[in-house]
Amino acid sequence: MPAIIVVDAFWGDSGKGKIAAYVAQKHKAAYAVRAGTGTNAGHSIYFDNGDTIQTHQLPCGWLHPQTQLRVGSGVAVDPELFFRETDQYALQGRAKVDFLA
């Protein structure tokens, strides 16, 4: 199974979330995985119609409706923030959110 991994050497503001969201949409990604860290400055996605999506805990690859979310081991999770984001974007019924051990 092929994989596309978005990585860079910066700590933030480099556009990883935007790239991951684009790649997930374009390739109909099976999974969007958050790995390595905890909450961050945020991923912001801006749409032509003026809508904006901002997350701090969730990877933006879930924009494709069939993409499942995964959170890797070792990621610091703020449960309140995590569930607020899954509720805000109605992901509880739309995407499967698992914590990988």
* Comparison of pLDDT for 68 and 101, the residue scoring more: 68
Asked if 13 is an active-site residue, the reply is yes
**Domain of residue 70, CATH code:** 3.40.440.10
Q: Of the residues 8, 27, 43, 87, which is catalytic?
A: 43
Residue 25 has pLDDT above 80, yes or no: yes
Does residue 60 form part of some domain? Answer: yes
> What is the β-pairing status of strands 52-55 and 43-46?
antiparallel
Which candidate, 27, 25, 26, places its Cα nearest to that of 60? 25
State the amino acid at position 29 in one-letter form: A
Does residue 64 form part of some domain? Answer: yes
Does residue 59 form part of some domain? Answer: yes
d(CA 77, CA 61): 18
Contacts of 62 (CB under 8 A, 6+ apart): 24, 32, 69, 89, 91, 94, 95
* Comparison of pLDDT for 36 and 44, the residue scoring more: 44
Look at the chain and report how many structural domains it folds into. Answer: 1
Q: Of the residues 13, 48, 78, 98, which is catalytic?
A: 13
Does residue 57 form part of some domain? Answer: yes
User: Tens of pLDDT along 41-100?
Assistant: 677 888 888 888 888 888 778 778 888 888 877 788 888 888 888 888 877 655 455 665
Average pLDDT of span 11-24:
78
What is the extent of the structural domain holding 42?
29-99
